[in-house]
Amino acid sequence: MSIKDPRAAGLASLAGLIADRTRAACLLALLDGRAWTAGELARHAGVAASTLSEHLGKLVAGGLLAEERQGRHRYVRLAGARVAQLVEDLAAQVPPAEAGQPARTLRESSADSAMARGRTCYDHLAGRLGIAVTDALTLRGLLRQDTGFALTDAGVEWFRTAGVPLDLSGRRSPARACLDWTERRPHLAGAAGAALCRHALDVGWCVRIGSGRAVKVTASGERVLGSLLGIPPSALR
């Protein structure tokens, strides 16, 4: 006699929500951590607004998206960091041959290169930029990776002296490993990763490229990250 796991139905339902190309495209786009309008997502996914509205309804009902309305506009965002982690972890499991389909146009090729070079992964830095920062923190004994990601006492002090506001009073893990889907290595997530990304964008160490997830390091960012973490400019370009 088999014993039915009560979680099976819920897991199957969750997998069904993600197992649609349009909904998957929306979830990946929303990994930039910002709220998008339904119209913006429809254009991004290449579907009619009415079609996308149905998909968004399912994602909201399934707890993967949260929505808010301002006047005539309907905005949606990922429901939280756990959803972002789930989407990014699943994306990292896509075989490289499938994830790296050749770009059809020069514009797509440039966008792919920019994403691989540096991007936001919900609320932290990813791509070669995220890996460079993670490696530098680890090399200097500010971050440990031997037993899972953990900030050292020196790491907490580094955030303070670098002027990066770090709140460790909440329930969120101070540091967490997030598998980078382009580099196939873990980068820094958690409260520390979010604080560093937010500060880098706020003070102009990094700037967003266009309306997507890609970011680039500014000239001042190269100087600061070189001074604070010893990262050579070539690793940030």
The pair of three-digit structure tokens given for residue 215, joined into one six-digit string: 């970011």
Query: Quick check: 106 pLDDT over 50?
Result: no
**When comparing pLDDT for 106 and 67, which is higher?**
67
Report which listed range, 25-29, 85-89, 147-151, 219-223, is most confident: 219-223
Average confidence (pLDDT) over 15-24: 94
Per the DSSP assignment, residues forming a β-bridge with 70 are: 73
| Residues 153/141, Cβ–Cβ less than 8 Å | no
| pLDDT at position 36 | 93
CA angle 66–169–206, rounded 5-degree value: 65
| pLDDT at position 94 | 81
| pLDDT at position 28 | 92
| Residues 124/130, Cβ–Cβ less than 8 Å | yes
What's the mean pLDDT when you consider all of the chain? 89
Query: Quick check: 1 pLDDT over 50?
Result: no
Model confidence band, residue 33 (pLDDT cutoffs 50, 70, 90) = confident
Give the span between the Cα atoms of 78 and 65, in whole angstroms.
Answer: 5
| pLDDT at position 72 | 79
Query: Quick check: 147 pLDDT over 70?
Result: yes
| pLDDT at position 92 | 81
Model confidence band, residue 18 (pLDDT cutoffs 50, 70, 90) = very high
Among the residue ranges 96-100, 116-120, 172-176, 180-184, the one predicted with the least confidence is: 96-100
| pLDDT at position 26 | 95
Number of Cβ atoms within 10 Å of the Cβ of 70? 9
Note the pLDDT tens digit of each residue in 54-70. Answer: 999 999 999 999 998 88
Pairing mode, strands 186-189 and 176-179:
antiparallel
Element (H, E) at 109: helix 106-117
Tell me where in the chain the CATH 1.10.10.10 domain(s) lie: 8-79
Angle at which helix 190-202 crosses helix 153-161, to 10 degrees, equals 20
Note the pLDDT tens digit of each residue in 149-196. Answer: 999 999 999 999 999 999 999 888 999 999 888 888 999 999 999 999
CATH topology of domain 8-79: Arc Repressor Mutant, subunit A (1.10.10)
Q: What is the pTM of this model?
A: 0.79
Give the span between the Cα atoms of 26 and 45, in whole angstroms.
Answer: 7
Beta strands in 84-198 (DSSP E): 119-121, 124-126, 143-144, 150-151, 176-179, 186-189
Closest CA to 203 of 192, 217, 193: 217
Angle at which helix 38-45 crosses helix 49-61, to 10 degrees, equals 110
Give the span between the Cα atoms of 188 and 142, in whole angstroms.
Answer: 12
The pair of three-digit structure tokens given for residue 204, joined into one six-digit string: 């102009």
Query: Quick check: 97 pLDDT over 60?
Result: no
